[in-house]
Amino acid sequence: MENPILYVERIMWLLREGGVDEGSVRRTGEMLGTPVKRVDALKARYSDVFSRFIEKRCSEAGSQYVVCIYSWNRRKSFRVFPVSLYATGTIILFRGEEPLEVLSNPIPKAIDYQGALGIISQDIVPLYASKRVDGWQVNAYYDKILGRWIFSTRYVLHNMYFSRGVLNIDRYGEISNPLVSLADSIAFRENLYGRLAGREGWTFIFNIVGPEPAITAPPYPIAPNPEEYRLYLVAARRNDGVLISGFEASKEIGWSYYPEPVLPASLDDLYRYIRSSLDTRSIIAWVKSGAFEQDPLLVEIPSQYYYDAMMVKHLYDAKSALILCSEGLTDHIKNLVSDNIGARVEAIDRIYRALVKAIEMRGADDMLIRSIRDLIRSSRAREIVSEEEIKSEIASRNIRRVARKILAIMLEERSLASDDISSIISRIEEIIGFMRNH
């Protein structure tokens, strides 16, 4: 498979050097998401994509070479076109301004299930599907300049890291990125580099998995103990460009850790299977699609509750506990935490149900509205929601949503483990009792 980013960079270099035919101009525009015929339109589209959407970070690698990594700008909503799908850590080797070859050709970005339904049918049975392991993605590739296997992240090379939002670039070959350093330690411990010998030109996509899920953690583990982390092999791209699953790649190199495969089923069945999961972040489905001739289209089918479950389990987040309680999952999330934290989860469930009943009994009368306003003020010491907004929400008659929204405001950024959470819950119960009795 030809990497779309390399193709585009090569054509743009050829344009600067002399010129290309009309067919190449049109195909390059398609790679950038906008078919064009004129060279000036192509240059404008390239400039727009690589200034607004695709981030290109480069490091000098000796006197002749430059190595660049490409990633999607996280401040922009994702858009689907060939180049964007491979802005997941593609790495290209340049000699001066001339693009020579791809060093790392990673897995394309997975498209969210709801967005994918505009391209494919929910009745399709994917070629392959597996549970997503919740970790930090790193890509292993053979670096010809360094003469060794090395890791990158989806966003930066091994010698790059961010400090207070500023990109720092160290000497090429120096491992200064914390995720790469952790992956490198694990790789040496598990003799991964020895297992990869003879597969130069391949790209191996791993997730670093540890005690804490990446969905709730900082951008990288803080002061990690490498013994507590594992590298899960998500996928690999062979040197002929073919993408293979982590299950297949693990057999290839004798690796023990890979995402758990899921039995074949339609996308709709997989969605119904995973949507209520508390312990699996999502399912990644590999779908054959006419719109993507070489690689499969990767579709991520997410759990509706996993994020909040992890926020409760690892960060004791009171608002997340409320959201899950309002979905009838109180008993399930109590099993994620200790008994004393579980008692506070039960208390949140209790006040949620009591508030629902109070609103059902009283409707949108003025005393109830003022009581709710005072309830919010008692927690936040300021007016976040006006009486008019509260009245409008209650008038919608979606009482459970109204109760959840009110309590979510009060419990936001509150910890189930904090000393004041019990007094906050007691105060809420007291005011709800007043609402129901007056």
pLDDT for res 289: 72
pLDDT at 79 over 70: yes
Q: Which helix (H) or strand (E) holds 322?
A: helix 318-326
Q: What is the pLDDT of residue 419?
A: 84
Domain boundaries, the chain: 1-105, 307-437
**What per-residue confidence (pLDDT) applies to 350?**
93
Distance CA 333, CA 305 (A): 10
CA 265 to chain centre: 24
Decide: helix, strand or coil at residue 289. Answer: strand
Looking at residue 365, its pLDDT comes to 66
Confidence check: pLDDT of 381 > 60: no
pLDDT-above-70 percentage for the chain: 91
pLDDT in tens, 421-437: 888 888 888 777 766 66
For 262, list phi and psi in degrees, rounded to 5.
Answer: -115, 140
In angstroms, the CA 65 to CA 112 distance is 37
CB 74 within 8 A of CB 88: no
Torsion angle, alpha carbons of 249, 252, 256, 262, to 10:
40
pTM over 0.85: yes
Closest to 208 in 3D by CA, of 191, 244, 184: 184
* pLDDT confidence bin for 342, thresholds 50/70/90: very high
Answer yes or no: is pLDDT of 42 > 80.
Answer: yes
% of the chain exceeding 90 in pLDDT: 71
